[in-house]
């Protein structure tokens, strides 16, 4: 059975992204640990910060799949949502 993410949100108090899976398990992704793991630059930190605040589900996807470096190499155009 494949675990799917049911809910995902940024927890400002703990500086982590809380992930709840469809099977009821939960995971807290430590954002600071992710930055240290990938040796994130200040410019890349702003990209990840935008993702954490605006799309924590995509952030969790990249962290869980190990695709943070690939995400940071891409071009990103962030727009405020209406």
pLDDT digits (tens, 9 = 90+) for 20-41: 999 999 999 999 999 999 988 8
The two tokens of residue 72 are: 């940071």
Ranges of H-type helices in the chain: 31-37, 42-54, 56-65, 68-73
**Res 39: pLDDT:** 87
Supply the pLDDT for residue 82. Answer: 44
Give the chain's radius of gyration (CA, Å): 13
Q: What is the pTM of this model?
A: 0.84
Mean pLDDT of 56-68: 95
For the segment 40-65, the average pLDDT, to the nearest whole number, is 93
Are residues 37 and 48 in contact, defined by beta-carbon separation less than 8 angstroms?
A: no
- The partner residues of 10 in beta bridges, in order of sequence, read 17
């Amino acid at each position: 059975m494949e675990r799917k993410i049911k809910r995902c949100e940024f927890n400002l108090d703990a500086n982590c992204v809380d992930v709840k899976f469809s099977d009821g398990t939960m995971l807290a992704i430590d954002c600071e640990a992710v930055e240290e793991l990938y040796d994130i630059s200040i410019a890349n930190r702003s990209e990840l910060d935008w993702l954490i605040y605006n799309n924590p589900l995509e952030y969790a996807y990249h962290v869980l799949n190990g695709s943070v470096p690939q995400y940071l190499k891409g071009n990103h155009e962030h727009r405020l949502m209406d």
